[in-house]
Protein backbone atom coordinates (compact mmCIF):
# COMPACT_ATOMS: atom_id res chain seq x y z
CA UNK A 1 0.00 0.00 0.00
CA UNK A 2 1.18 3.53 -0.60
CA UNK A 3 2.90 5.39 2.15
CA UNK A 4 0.81 8.53 1.56
CA UNK A 5 -2.10 6.98 3.47
CA UNK A 6 -2.41 8.31 7.05
CA UNK A 7 -0.21 6.41 9.49
CA UNK A 8 -2.45 5.84 12.51
CA UNK A 9 -1.76 5.20 16.16
CA UNK A 10 -3.97 3.15 18.42
CA UNK A 11 -5.62 6.16 19.97
CA UNK A 12 -5.29 4.67 23.47
CA UNK A 13 -5.11 6.97 26.49
CA UNK A 14 -1.59 7.43 27.89
CA UNK A 15 -0.64 5.71 31.09
CA UNK A 16 1.34 7.22 33.91
CA UNK A 17 4.15 4.66 33.88
CA UNK A 18 6.61 4.30 31.01
CA UNK A 19 5.86 1.12 29.04
CA UNK A 20 8.40 -1.62 28.55
CA UNK A 21 8.83 -2.70 24.92
CA UNK A 22 8.55 -6.42 24.22
CA UNK A 23 11.99 -7.48 22.91
CA UNK A 24 10.52 -10.13 20.59
CA UNK A 25 8.23 -7.70 18.79
CA UNK A 26 10.99 -5.09 18.56
CA UNK A 27 13.26 -7.57 16.77
CA UNK A 28 10.44 -8.58 14.43
CA UNK A 29 9.65 -4.97 13.62
CA UNK A 30 13.32 -4.12 12.99
CA UNK A 31 13.87 -7.19 10.76
CA UNK A 32 10.75 -6.38 8.75
CA UNK A 33 11.87 -2.78 8.23
CA UNK A 34 15.31 -3.92 7.02
CA UNK A 35 13.66 -6.34 4.57
CA UNK A 36 11.39 -3.65 3.13
CA UNK A 37 14.29 -1.24 2.63
CA UNK A 38 16.34 -3.76 0.63
CA UNK A 39 13.88 -5.02 -1.99
CA UNK A 40 13.61 -4.20 -5.72
CA UNK A 41 10.13 -4.89 -7.15
CA UNK A 42 11.12 -7.09 -10.16
CA UNK A 43 13.52 -9.22 -8.09
CA UNK A 44 10.98 -9.67 -5.32
CA UNK A 45 8.15 -10.61 -7.71
CA UNK A 46 10.41 -13.22 -9.33
CA UNK A 47 11.21 -14.68 -5.90
CA UNK A 48 7.58 -14.67 -4.76
CA UNK A 49 6.41 -16.37 -7.97
CA UNK A 50 9.21 -18.68 -9.24
CA UNK A 51 8.88 -19.13 -12.98
CA UNK A 52 7.72 -15.55 -13.53
CA UNK A 53 10.22 -14.01 -15.92
CA UNK A 54 10.72 -12.31 -19.26
CA UNK A 55 7.83 -10.34 -20.79
CA UNK A 56 5.35 -11.48 -18.14
CA UNK A 57 7.58 -10.24 -15.33
CA UNK A 58 8.06 -6.92 -17.12
CA UNK A 59 4.31 -6.58 -17.67
CA UNK A 60 3.54 -7.32 -14.02
CA UNK A 61 6.21 -4.86 -12.87
CA UNK A 62 4.53 -2.22 -15.06
CA UNK A 63 1.29 -2.77 -13.16
CA UNK A 64 2.32 -3.09 -9.53
CA UNK A 65 5.14 -2.15 -7.15
CA UNK A 66 6.36 -3.46 -3.83
CA UNK A 67 4.80 -1.34 -1.09
CA UNK A 68 5.22 -2.97 2.31
CA UNK A 69 5.71 -6.03 4.45
CA UNK A 70 3.23 -6.63 7.27
CA UNK A 71 3.22 -8.25 10.67
CA UNK A 72 0.74 -8.62 13.54
CA UNK A 73 1.75 -7.59 17.07
CA UNK A 74 -0.14 -7.81 20.38
CA UNK A 75 0.59 -4.85 22.66
CA UNK A 76 -1.35 -4.42 25.90
CA UNK A 77 -2.02 -0.78 25.04
CA UNK A 78 -1.21 1.93 22.54
CA UNK A 79 1.65 3.47 24.50
CA UNK A 80 3.53 0.19 24.63
CA UNK A 81 3.14 -0.20 20.88
CA UNK A 82 4.57 3.27 20.24
CA UNK A 83 7.54 2.46 22.45
CA UNK A 84 8.17 -0.75 20.49
CA UNK A 85 8.07 1.12 17.18
CA UNK A 86 10.53 3.70 18.49
CA UNK A 87 12.89 0.98 19.75
CA UNK A 88 12.79 -0.62 16.26
CA UNK A 89 13.71 2.68 14.60
CA UNK A 90 10.21 3.30 13.22
CA UNK A 91 8.12 6.43 13.64
CA UNK A 92 5.11 5.89 15.93
CA UNK A 93 3.39 9.13 14.87
CA UNK A 94 0.03 9.36 13.15
CA UNK A 95 -3.64 8.62 13.68
CA UNK A 96 -5.01 5.09 13.99
CA UNK A 97 -7.49 3.52 11.59
CA UNK A 98 -9.38 0.31 12.21
CA UNK A 99 -8.24 -2.70 10.18
CA UNK A 100 -11.55 -4.16 9.01
CA UNK A 101 -10.04 -6.94 6.90
CA UNK A 102 -7.69 -8.35 9.56
CA UNK A 103 -10.28 -7.94 12.33
CA UNK A 104 -12.78 -10.05 10.35
CA UNK A 105 -10.15 -12.65 9.50
CA UNK A 106 -9.16 -13.02 13.15
CA UNK A 107 -12.80 -13.20 14.26
CA UNK A 108 -13.56 -15.93 11.71
CA UNK A 109 -10.49 -17.98 12.63
CA UNK A 110 -11.13 -17.92 16.36
CA UNK A 111 -14.93 -17.99 16.47
CA UNK A 112 -15.21 -14.50 18.00
CA UNK A 113 -17.42 -11.56 17.23
CA UNK A 114 -15.66 -8.86 15.27
CA UNK A 115 -16.81 -6.34 17.84
CA UNK A 116 -14.73 -8.12 20.49
CA UNK A 117 -11.48 -7.30 18.71
CA UNK A 118 -9.74 -3.94 18.64
CA UNK A 119 -7.44 -4.24 15.60
CA UNK A 120 -5.68 -1.11 14.43
CA UNK A 121 -3.32 -0.50 11.53
CA UNK A 122 -0.18 1.65 11.49
CA UNK A 123 2.17 2.25 8.58
CA UNK A 124 5.52 3.73 9.62
CA UNK A 125 7.36 4.98 6.55
CA UNK A 126 10.66 3.50 5.36
CA UNK A 127 12.45 3.95 2.03
CA UNK A 128 13.57 1.51 -0.65
CA UNK A 129 16.96 1.27 -2.40
CA UNK A 130 16.08 4.14 -4.74
CA UNK A 131 14.58 6.33 -2.04
CA UNK A 132 11.02 5.33 -2.93
CA UNK A 133 8.49 5.56 -0.11
CA UNK A 134 7.40 2.30 1.44
CA UNK A 135 5.99 1.17 4.77
CA UNK A 136 6.09 -1.46 7.45
CA UNK A 137 2.44 -2.33 7.92
CA UNK A 138 1.82 -3.03 11.58
CA UNK A 139 -1.43 -4.66 12.64
CA UNK A 140 -1.99 -4.25 16.37
CA UNK A 141 -4.48 -6.42 18.24
CA UNK A 142 -4.81 -4.92 21.70
CA UNK A 143 -4.44 -7.71 24.30
CA UNK A 144 -4.66 -6.16 27.81
CA UNK A 145 -2.94 -7.89 30.72
CA UNK A 146 -5.01 -10.89 31.84
CA UNK A 147 -7.26 -10.75 28.75
CA UNK A 148 -8.82 -13.95 27.37
CA UNK A 149 -7.34 -12.86 24.05
CA UNK A 150 -3.93 -14.04 25.28
CA UNK A 151 -4.65 -17.48 23.83
CA UNK A 152 -5.48 -15.91 20.45
CA UNK A 153 -2.23 -13.93 20.59
CA UNK A 154 -0.19 -17.05 21.42
CA UNK A 155 -1.62 -19.01 18.49
CA UNK A 156 -1.23 -16.14 16.02
CA UNK A 157 2.38 -15.54 17.11
CA UNK A 158 3.17 -19.22 16.49
CA UNK A 159 1.62 -19.33 13.01
CA UNK A 160 2.12 -15.70 11.93
CA UNK A 161 -0.75 -15.86 9.46
CA UNK A 162 -1.02 -12.10 8.93
CA UNK A 163 2.62 -11.63 7.94
CA UNK A 164 2.65 -10.85 4.24
CA UNK A 165 4.20 -8.93 1.38
CA UNK A 166 2.13 -6.31 -0.42
CA UNK A 167 2.18 -4.80 -3.89
CA UNK A 168 0.25 -1.68 -4.82
CA UNK A 169 -1.61 -1.86 -8.12
CA UNK A 170 -0.95 1.13 -10.37
CA UNK A 171 -4.08 2.64 -11.97
CA UNK A 172 -6.34 -0.23 -10.94
CA UNK A 173 -9.32 -1.10 -13.11
CA UNK A 174 -11.19 -4.42 -13.50
CA UNK A 175 -9.13 -5.49 -16.54
CA UNK A 176 -5.80 -4.82 -14.78
CA UNK A 177 -6.91 -6.51 -11.55
CA UNK A 178 -8.20 -9.60 -13.32
CA UNK A 179 -4.98 -9.84 -15.32
CA UNK A 180 -2.75 -9.55 -12.25
CA UNK A 181 -4.88 -12.03 -10.32
CA UNK A 182 -4.70 -14.50 -13.21
CA UNK A 183 -0.90 -14.13 -13.30
CA UNK A 184 -0.58 -14.92 -9.59
CA UNK A 185 -2.84 -17.97 -9.89
CA UNK A 186 -1.05 -19.19 -13.04
CA UNK A 187 2.25 -19.26 -11.14
CA UNK A 188 0.98 -21.31 -8.23
CA UNK A 189 -0.46 -18.74 -5.81
CA UNK A 190 -3.83 -19.57 -4.26
CA UNK A 191 -6.63 -17.11 -3.48
CA UNK A 192 -6.67 -16.59 0.31
CA UNK A 193 -9.32 -14.03 1.13
CA UNK A 194 -9.45 -10.27 1.01
CA UNK A 195 -11.87 -7.44 1.61
CA UNK A 196 -12.89 -3.85 1.07
CA UNK A 197 -11.89 -1.29 3.73
CA UNK A 198 -14.34 1.66 3.64
CA UNK A 199 -12.19 3.66 6.09
CA UNK A 200 -9.55 4.16 3.40
CA UNK A 201 -11.51 3.19 0.27
CA UNK A 202 -9.17 0.35 -0.66
CA UNK A 203 -9.64 -3.24 -1.83
CA UNK A 204 -7.30 -6.03 -0.70
CA UNK A 205 -6.69 -9.34 -2.48
CA UNK A 206 -4.77 -11.95 -0.47
CA UNK A 207 -2.95 -14.97 -1.90
CA UNK A 208 -1.18 -17.93 -0.35
CA UNK A 209 2.30 -17.96 -1.91
CA UNK A 210 3.34 -20.99 -4.00
CA UNK A 211 5.15 -23.79 -2.19
CA UNK A 212 8.27 -22.93 -4.23
CA UNK A 213 8.31 -19.26 -3.15
CA UNK A 214 11.80 -18.01 -2.33
CA UNK A 215 10.88 -15.59 0.46
CA UNK A 216 10.05 -16.28 4.12
CA UNK A 217 6.57 -14.82 3.57
CA UNK A 218 3.74 -17.25 2.85
CA UNK A 219 1.11 -14.68 2.00
CA UNK A 220 0.97 -11.92 -0.62
CA UNK A 221 -1.38 -8.97 -0.92
CA UNK A 222 -2.44 -6.94 -3.93
CA UNK A 223 -3.84 -3.58 -2.88
CA UNK A 224 -6.02 -1.47 -5.19
CA UNK A 225 -7.29 1.98 -4.29
CA UNK A 226 -11.05 2.29 -4.66
CA UNK A 227 -14.01 -0.03 -4.42
CA UNK A 228 -13.41 -3.15 -6.52
CA UNK A 229 -15.83 -5.50 -4.84
CA UNK A 230 -16.99 -6.89 -8.19
CA UNK A 231 -13.52 -8.34 -8.85
CA UNK A 232 -13.14 -9.20 -5.16
CA UNK A 233 -16.28 -11.36 -5.37
CA UNK A 234 -14.58 -13.43 -8.08
CA UNK A 235 -11.49 -13.71 -5.91
CA UNK A 236 -13.47 -14.87 -2.87
CA UNK A 237 -16.05 -17.08 -4.57
CA UNK A 238 -14.50 -17.96 -7.93
CA UNK A 239 -15.00 -16.18 -11.24
CA UNK A 240 -18.45 -14.98 -12.18
CA UNK A 241 -19.80 -16.83 -15.17
CA UNK A 242 -20.00 -14.14 -17.87
CA UNK A 243 -23.25 -13.53 -19.67
CA UNK A 244 -23.12 -15.31 -23.07
CA UNK A 245 -23.59 -11.97 -24.80
CA UNK A 246 -20.59 -10.53 -22.91
CA UNK A 247 -18.45 -13.48 -24.01
CA UNK A 248 -19.49 -13.04 -27.63
CA UNK A 249 -18.96 -9.27 -27.56
CA UNK A 250 -15.38 -9.73 -26.32
CA UNK A 251 -14.74 -12.17 -29.16
CA UNK A 252 -16.38 -9.99 -31.81
CA UNK A 253 -14.28 -6.95 -30.89
CA UNK A 254 -11.00 -8.80 -31.48
CA UNK A 255 -10.84 -7.21 -34.93
CA UNK A 256 -10.72 -3.80 -33.27
CA UNK A 257 -7.53 -4.75 -31.48
CA UNK A 258 -5.89 -5.82 -34.75
CA UNK A 259 -6.75 -2.49 -36.35
CA UNK A 260 -5.72 -0.47 -33.28
CA UNK A 261 -2.27 -2.09 -33.37
CA UNK A 262 -1.99 -1.61 -37.13
CA UNK A 263 -2.99 2.06 -36.80
CA UNK A 264 -0.44 2.49 -34.01
CA UNK A 265 2.26 1.08 -36.29
CA UNK A 266 1.12 2.99 -39.37
CA UNK A 267 1.13 6.30 -37.51
CA UNK A 268 4.59 5.44 -36.15
CA UNK A 269 3.26 6.26 -32.72
CA UNK A 270 5.83 4.00 -30.96
CA UNK A 271 8.66 5.94 -32.63
CA UNK A 272 7.25 9.10 -31.04
CA UNK A 273 7.19 7.47 -27.60
CA UNK A 274 9.57 5.62 -25.31
CA UNK A 275 9.29 3.15 -22.41
CA UNK A 276 10.66 5.65 -19.91
CA UNK A 277 9.14 9.05 -20.84
CA UNK A 278 5.41 9.81 -20.73
CA UNK A 279 3.94 12.18 -23.34
CA UNK A 280 0.44 13.60 -23.65
CA UNK A 281 -1.95 13.01 -26.53
CA UNK A 282 -1.68 16.60 -27.79
CA UNK A 283 2.12 16.47 -27.95
CA UNK A 284 2.05 13.05 -29.61
CA UNK A 285 -0.58 14.18 -32.09
CA UNK A 286 1.74 16.92 -33.29
CA UNK A 287 4.55 14.40 -33.72
CA UNK A 288 2.53 11.87 -35.75
CA UNK A 289 0.12 14.18 -37.59
CA UNK A 290 -3.10 13.18 -35.85
CA UNK A 291 -6.13 14.84 -34.25
CA UNK A 292 -5.44 15.04 -30.48
CA UNK A 293 -8.93 13.95 -29.37
CA UNK A 294 -8.91 10.97 -31.72
CA UNK A 295 -5.41 9.97 -30.74
CA UNK A 296 -6.38 10.12 -27.04
CA UNK A 297 -9.17 7.61 -27.74
CA UNK A 298 -6.71 5.28 -29.49
CA UNK A 299 -4.19 5.62 -26.63
CA UNK A 300 -6.81 4.66 -24.04
CA UNK A 301 -7.62 1.54 -26.03
CA UNK A 302 -3.93 0.70 -26.44
CA UNK A 303 -3.52 1.11 -22.66
CA UNK A 304 -6.36 -1.35 -22.11
CA UNK A 305 -4.58 -4.02 -24.18
CA UNK A 306 -1.16 -3.33 -22.63
CA UNK A 307 0.71 -1.63 -25.48
CA UNK A 308 1.05 1.69 -23.64
CA UNK A 309 0.55 2.60 -19.99
CA UNK A 310 -0.83 5.79 -18.50
CA UNK A 311 1.68 7.54 -16.25
CA UNK A 312 0.73 7.55 -12.55
CA UNK A 313 -0.29 11.00 -11.44
CA UNK A 314 -0.17 12.40 -14.99
CA UNK A 315 -3.63 11.83 -16.42
CA UNK A 316 -3.54 11.66 -20.20
CA UNK A 317 0.24 11.06 -20.43
CA UNK A 318 1.34 7.69 -21.82
CA UNK A 319 4.53 5.72 -22.27
CA UNK A 320 5.34 2.52 -24.15
CA UNK A 321 5.35 -0.89 -22.50
CA UNK A 322 7.82 -3.60 -23.50
CA UNK A 323 5.15 -5.04 -25.83
CA UNK A 324 4.54 -1.65 -27.43
CA UNK A 325 8.25 -1.21 -28.02
CA UNK A 326 8.11 -4.12 -30.48
CA UNK A 327 5.95 -1.99 -32.80
CA UNK A 328 8.90 0.34 -33.42
CA UNK A 329 10.66 -0.38 -36.69
CA UNK A 330 14.09 0.00 -35.07
CA UNK A 331 13.36 -2.36 -32.16
CA UNK A 332 15.15 -5.67 -31.85
CA UNK A 333 12.64 -8.31 -32.95
CA UNK A 334 10.37 -5.59 -34.37
CA UNK A 335 6.81 -6.70 -35.13
CA UNK A 336 5.80 -3.51 -36.93
CA UNK A 337 5.72 -5.13 -40.36
CA UNK A 338 3.66 -8.02 -38.99
CA UNK A 339 1.11 -5.58 -37.52
CA UNK A 340 0.79 -3.85 -40.89
CA UNK A 341 0.36 -7.18 -42.71
CA UNK A 342 -2.26 -8.46 -40.26
CA UNK A 343 -4.07 -5.11 -40.36
CA UNK A 344 -3.69 -4.85 -44.15
CA UNK A 345 -3.88 -7.55 -46.84
CA UNK A 346 -4.38 -10.45 -44.42
CA UNK A 347 -7.13 -8.49 -42.67
CA UNK A 348 -8.91 -8.06 -45.99
CA UNK A 349 -8.50 -11.73 -46.90
CA UNK A 350 -10.03 -12.86 -43.61
CA UNK A 351 -13.23 -11.09 -44.64
CA UNK A 352 -13.51 -13.93 -47.18
CA UNK A 353 -13.19 -16.70 -44.58
CA UNK A 354 -16.76 -17.92 -45.13
CA UNK A 355 -15.93 -18.32 -48.84
CA UNK A 356 -12.90 -20.43 -47.88
CA UNK A 357 -14.96 -22.65 -45.59
CA UNK A 358 -17.66 -23.11 -48.25
CA UNK A 359 -15.38 -23.77 -51.21
CA UNK A 360 -11.93 -24.70 -49.90
CA UNK A 361 -10.45 -21.83 -51.95
CA UNK A 362 -8.18 -19.36 -50.14
CA UNK A 363 -9.91 -16.14 -49.18
CA UNK A 364 -6.81 -14.23 -50.29
CA UNK A 365 -7.31 -15.38 -53.89
CA UNK A 366 -11.00 -14.52 -53.76
CA UNK A 367 -10.16 -11.00 -52.53
CA UNK A 368 -7.11 -10.22 -54.68
CA UNK A 369 -7.57 -12.51 -57.68
CA UNK A 370 -4.25 -14.33 -57.30
CA UNK A 371 -2.28 -16.31 -54.73
CA UNK A 372 -0.40 -14.30 -52.16
CA UNK A 373 3.09 -15.29 -53.39
CA UNK A 374 2.39 -13.88 -56.88
CA UNK A 375 0.55 -10.88 -55.45
CA UNK A 376 3.50 -9.90 -53.26
CA UNK A 377 6.13 -10.68 -55.91
CA UNK A 378 4.61 -8.10 -58.27
CA UNK A 379 4.53 -5.44 -55.56
CA UNK A 380 8.11 -4.87 -54.28
CA UNK A 381 7.13 -2.70 -51.31
CA UNK A 382 4.53 -5.23 -50.12
CA UNK A 383 6.96 -8.11 -50.73
CA UNK A 384 9.61 -6.39 -48.61
CA UNK A 385 7.08 -5.82 -45.84
CA UNK A 386 6.05 -9.49 -45.95
CA UNK A 387 9.70 -10.58 -45.72
CA UNK A 388 10.23 -8.26 -42.73
CA UNK A 389 7.09 -9.63 -41.09
CA UNK A 390 8.53 -13.14 -41.29
CA UNK A 391 11.55 -11.94 -39.30
CA UNK A 392 9.21 -10.94 -36.44
CA UNK A 393 9.01 -14.56 -35.31
CA UNK A 394 12.74 -15.17 -35.61
CA UNK A 395 13.05 -15.77 -31.86
CA UNK A 396 11.95 -19.34 -32.57
CA UNK A 397 15.34 -19.83 -34.24
CA UNK A 398 17.39 -18.96 -31.14
CA UNK A 399 18.17 -22.55 -30.05
CA UNK A 400 18.85 -23.95 -33.53
CA UNK A 401 22.59 -23.13 -33.74
CA UNK A 402 23.00 -25.54 -30.81
CA UNK A 403 20.91 -28.32 -32.35
CA UNK A 404 22.94 -31.59 -32.33
CA UNK A 405 22.70 -31.90 -36.13
CA UNK A 406 24.10 -28.40 -36.65
CA UNK A 407 26.82 -28.84 -34.04
CA UNK A 408 27.87 -32.18 -35.57
CA UNK A 409 28.14 -30.58 -39.01
CA UNK A 410 30.19 -27.67 -37.63
CA UNK A 411 32.57 -30.05 -35.85
CA UNK A 412 33.70 -31.77 -39.06
CA UNK A 413 37.15 -30.54 -40.16
CA UNK A 414 36.79 -28.32 -43.19
CA UNK A 415 33.15 -27.60 -42.42
CA UNK A 416 29.88 -28.77 -43.92
CA UNK A 417 27.18 -27.10 -46.04
CA UNK A 418 23.72 -26.04 -44.88
CA UNK A 419 21.11 -25.68 -47.63
CA UNK A 420 18.21 -23.39 -46.67
CA UNK A 421 15.31 -24.13 -49.04
CA UNK A 422 12.98 -21.13 -49.53
CA UNK A 423 14.78 -19.46 -46.62
CA UNK A 424 13.46 -15.93 -47.16
CA UNK A 425 16.01 -13.23 -46.41
CA UNK A 426 18.24 -15.75 -44.62
CA UNK A 427 17.36 -15.02 -41.00
CA UNK A 428 17.87 -18.63 -39.90
CA UNK A 429 20.79 -19.41 -42.20
CA UNK A 430 22.58 -16.26 -41.05
CA UNK A 431 22.31 -17.34 -37.42
CA UNK A 432 23.76 -20.76 -38.18
CA UNK A 433 26.69 -19.34 -40.16
CA UNK A 434 27.40 -16.65 -37.56
CA UNK A 435 27.44 -19.21 -34.74
CA UNK A 436 29.68 -21.67 -36.62
CA UNK A 437 32.41 -20.10 -38.81
CA UNK A 438 33.29 -23.51 -40.26
CA UNK A 439 29.90 -23.89 -41.96
CA UNK A 440 29.04 -22.80 -45.49
CA UNK A 441 25.53 -21.99 -46.66
CA UNK A 442 23.35 -22.19 -49.75
CA UNK A 443 20.15 -20.10 -49.90
CA UNK A 444 17.52 -21.06 -52.46
CA UNK A 445 14.92 -18.34 -53.02
CA UNK A 446 12.93 -16.33 -55.57
CA UNK A 447 14.85 -13.68 -57.50
CA UNK A 448 13.26 -10.66 -55.78
CA UNK A 449 14.25 -12.01 -52.33
CA UNK A 450 17.89 -12.83 -53.09
CA UNK A 451 19.18 -9.24 -53.07
CA UNK A 452 17.49 -8.51 -49.78
CA UNK A 453 19.05 -11.67 -48.37
CA UNK A 454 22.55 -10.63 -49.48
CA UNK A 455 22.17 -7.34 -47.64
CA UNK A 456 20.71 -8.93 -44.51
CA UNK A 457 23.39 -11.61 -44.18
CA UNK A 458 26.14 -9.00 -44.14
CA UNK A 459 29.58 -10.39 -43.27
CA UNK A 460 28.56 -14.07 -43.42
CA UNK A 461 27.31 -13.62 -47.02
CA UNK A 462 30.83 -14.44 -48.25
CA UNK A 463 30.32 -18.01 -46.97
CA UNK A 464 26.95 -18.31 -48.71
CA UNK A 465 26.00 -19.32 -52.24
CA UNK A 466 22.77 -17.63 -53.42
CA UNK A 467 20.63 -19.66 -55.84
CA UNK A 468 17.57 -18.38 -57.66
CA UNK A 469 14.94 -21.02 -58.24
CA UNK A 470 11.91 -23.01 -57.09
CA UNK A 471 11.52 -26.24 -55.14
CA UNK A 472 12.44 -28.24 -58.23
CA UNK A 473 15.88 -26.60 -58.03
CA UNK A 474 16.94 -27.84 -54.57
CA UNK A 475 20.77 -28.00 -54.71
CA UNK A 476 22.31 -31.46 -54.37
CA UNK A 477 25.21 -32.46 -52.16
CA UNK A 478 24.42 -30.52 -48.95
CA UNK A 479 24.98 -31.92 -45.48
CA UNK A 480 22.11 -30.26 -43.62
CA UNK A 481 18.89 -29.16 -45.36
CA UNK A 482 16.49 -26.70 -43.73
CA UNK A 483 12.79 -26.11 -44.44
CA UNK A 484 11.64 -23.35 -42.12
CA UNK A 485 7.94 -22.41 -42.11
CA UNK A 486 7.55 -23.67 -45.67
CA UNK A 487 5.40 -26.79 -45.54
CA UNK A 488 2.52 -25.12 -43.71
CA UNK A 489 2.01 -22.92 -46.80
CA UNK A 490 0.85 -25.87 -48.87
CA UNK A 491 -1.70 -28.65 -49.10
CA UNK A 492 -0.50 -32.26 -48.67
CA UNK A 493 0.29 -33.15 -52.27
CA UNK A 494 2.42 -30.06 -52.78
CA UNK A 495 4.25 -30.86 -49.51
CA UNK A 496 4.99 -34.38 -50.76
CA UNK A 497 6.46 -32.88 -53.94
CA UNK A 498 8.67 -30.45 -51.98
CA UNK A 499 9.90 -33.24 -49.70
CA UNK A 500 10.62 -35.53 -52.67
CA UNK A 501 12.76 -32.79 -54.25
CA UNK A 502 14.66 -32.48 -50.98
CA UNK A 503 15.08 -36.26 -50.65
CA UNK A 504 16.39 -36.50 -54.21
CA UNK A 505 19.00 -33.79 -53.52
CA UNK A 506 20.11 -35.15 -50.15
CA UNK A 507 23.14 -37.48 -49.92
CA UNK A 508 22.46 -40.68 -47.93
CA UNK A 509 23.91 -39.28 -44.68
CA UNK A 510 22.40 -35.80 -44.92
CA UNK A 511 19.93 -34.45 -42.36
CA UNK A 512 16.74 -32.45 -42.88
CA UNK A 513 15.52 -29.98 -40.23
CA UNK A 514 11.93 -28.74 -40.52
CA UNK A 515 10.70 -25.79 -38.43
CA UNK A 516 6.92 -25.60 -38.00
CA UNK A 517 4.23 -25.25 -35.35
CA UNK A 518 2.59 -28.54 -34.42
CA UNK A 519 -1.13 -28.89 -33.89
CA UNK A 520 -1.98 -30.36 -30.48
CA UNK A 521 -3.46 -33.85 -30.46
CA UNK A 522 -6.26 -32.65 -28.15
CA UNK A 523 -8.27 -29.44 -27.84
CA UNK A 524 -5.54 -27.55 -25.94
CA UNK A 525 -5.27 -23.86 -26.95
CA UNK A 526 -2.26 -23.26 -29.17
CA UNK A 527 -0.84 -20.79 -31.64
CA UNK A 528 -0.80 -23.61 -34.19
CA UNK A 529 -4.60 -23.81 -34.08
CA UNK A 530 -4.85 -20.08 -34.84
CA UNK A 531 -2.28 -20.30 -37.64
CA UNK A 532 -4.10 -23.30 -39.09
CA UNK A 533 -7.06 -21.02 -39.80
CA UNK A 534 -4.75 -18.29 -41.11
CA UNK A 535 -2.96 -20.62 -43.52
CA UNK A 536 -6.23 -22.10 -44.80
CA UNK A 537 -7.63 -18.64 -45.57
CA UNK A 538 -4.48 -17.09 -47.06
CA UNK A 539 -2.44 -19.79 -48.79
CA UNK A 540 -4.58 -22.91 -48.85
CA UNK A 541 -2.04 -24.51 -46.51
CA UNK A 542 -2.41 -25.90 -43.01
CA UNK A 543 -0.65 -26.68 -39.75
CA UNK A 544 -0.21 -30.36 -38.87
CA UNK A 545 0.46 -32.76 -36.04
CA UNK A 546 3.82 -34.50 -35.73
CA UNK A 547 2.15 -37.72 -36.92
CA UNK A 548 0.86 -35.98 -40.05
CA UNK A 549 4.36 -34.73 -40.87
CA UNK A 550 5.73 -38.22 -40.30
CA UNK A 551 3.30 -39.57 -42.91
CA UNK A 552 4.26 -36.89 -45.45
CA UNK A 553 7.95 -37.63 -44.88
CA UNK A 554 7.38 -41.37 -45.30
CA UNK A 555 5.58 -40.76 -48.61
CA UNK A 556 8.70 -38.90 -49.80
CA UNK A 557 11.14 -41.65 -48.74
CA UNK A 558 12.18 -39.87 -45.55
CA UNK A 559 11.87 -40.86 -41.90
CA UNK A 560 11.04 -38.65 -38.92
CA UNK A 561 13.82 -39.23 -36.40
CA UNK A 562 12.42 -36.97 -33.67
CA UNK A 563 11.25 -33.48 -32.84
CA UNK A 564 11.72 -30.92 -30.05
CA UNK A 565 10.22 -27.61 -28.91
CA UNK A 566 11.37 -24.14 -29.92
CA UNK A 567 10.28 -20.70 -28.66
CA UNK A 568 6.92 -19.23 -29.74
CA UNK A 569 5.32 -22.70 -29.66
CA UNK A 570 7.34 -23.87 -32.68
CA UNK A 571 9.07 -27.23 -33.10
CA UNK A 572 12.05 -28.55 -35.02
CA UNK A 573 11.54 -31.92 -36.72
CA UNK A 574 14.59 -33.99 -37.68
CA UNK A 575 14.33 -36.31 -40.69
CA UNK A 576 16.72 -38.48 -42.70
CA UNK A 577 16.51 -40.63 -45.80
CA UNK A 578 15.22 -44.13 -45.17
Q: How far apart are CA 137 and CA 217, in angstroms?
A: 14
Whether 457 contacts 430, CB under 8 Å: yes
Count of C-beta atoms within a 10 Å radius of residue 26: 19
One DSSP character per residue, 146-163 reads T-TTHHHHHHHHHH-TT-
One DSSP character per residue, 554-576 reads HHTTEEEEEEEEETTTEEEEEEE
Q: Are strands 440-445 and 464-468 parallel, antiparallel or unpaired?
A: parallel
One DSSP character per residue, 85-127 reads HHHTT----S--EE-HHHHHHHHHHHT--GGG--EEEE--EEE
Q: Which H helix or E strand runs over 511? A: strand 511-517
DSSP state of 209: P
Query: 395-577 has which CATH code?
Result: 3.40.50.150
Count of C-beta atoms within a 10 Å radius of residue 379: 14
Q: Per CATH, is 247-335 categorized as 1.10.10.10?
A: yes
Provide the 3-class DSSP secondary structure of residue 467.
strand
Task: Answer positive or negative: Cα dihedral of 467, 470, 476, 478.
Answer: positive
Q: How far apart are CA 428 and CA 445, in angstroms?
A: 13
Task: Answer positive or negative: Cα dihedral of 459, 465, 469, 475.
Answer: negative
Which CATH fold topology does 23-237 show? 2,3-Dihydroxybiphenyl 1,2-Dioxygenase; domain 1 (3.10.180)
- From the list 488, 534, 563, 571, the catalytic residue is 488
CA dihedral 128, 133, 134, 136 (to 10 degrees): 100
Identical fold for domains 247-335 and 395-577, yes or no, is no
Tally helices (H) and strands (E) across the chain: 25, 19
Q: Are strands 317-320 and 279-280 parallel, antiparallel or unpaired?
A: antiparallel
All structural domains of the chain with their residue ranges: 23-237, 247-335, 348-391, 395-577
- Provide the residue-wise pLDDT of the chain in tens; the chain has 578 residues: 333 333 333 333 333 333 444 457 888 899 999 999 999 999 999 999 988 887 788 889 989 999 999 999 999 988 899 999 999 999 887 777 888 878 888 999 898 888 889 999 999 999 999 899 999 999 999 999 888 898 898 888 888 888 999 999 988 988 889 989 999 998 999 998 888 887 778 999 999 999 889 998 999 999 999 999 889 988 988 655 667 887 888 889 999 999 999 999 999 999 999 777 889 999 999 999 999 999 999 999 998 888 988 876 556 789 898 889 999 999 888 999 999 999 999 999 999 999 999 999 999 999 999 988 889 888 988 988 988 888 788 888 999 999 999 999 999 988 899 999 999 999 999 999 999 999 999 999 988 889 889 988 989 999 999 999 999 999 999 999 999 999 999 999 999 999 999 999 999 999 999 999 999 988 888 899 999 999 999 999 999 999 999 999 999 999 999 999 998 889 999 999 99
**Known catalytic residue at 68:** no
Amino acid sequence: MTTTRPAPNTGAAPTTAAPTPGPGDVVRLRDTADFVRAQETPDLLARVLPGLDGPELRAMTERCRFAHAALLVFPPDGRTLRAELTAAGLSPDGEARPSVVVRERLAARHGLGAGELDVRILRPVVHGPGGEGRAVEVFALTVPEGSELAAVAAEERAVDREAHLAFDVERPDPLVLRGLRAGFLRHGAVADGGGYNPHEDGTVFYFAAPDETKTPYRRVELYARGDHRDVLAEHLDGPRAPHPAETLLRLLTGAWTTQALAACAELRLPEAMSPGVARGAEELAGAVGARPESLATLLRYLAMVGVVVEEPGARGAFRLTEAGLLLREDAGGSMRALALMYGGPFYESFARLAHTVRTGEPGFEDRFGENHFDHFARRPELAARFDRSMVASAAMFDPLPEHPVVRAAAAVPGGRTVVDVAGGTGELLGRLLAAHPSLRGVLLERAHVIEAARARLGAVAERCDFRTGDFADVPAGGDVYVLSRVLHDWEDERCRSILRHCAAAMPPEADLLIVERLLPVDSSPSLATAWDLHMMCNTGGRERTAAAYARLLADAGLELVGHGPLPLEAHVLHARRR
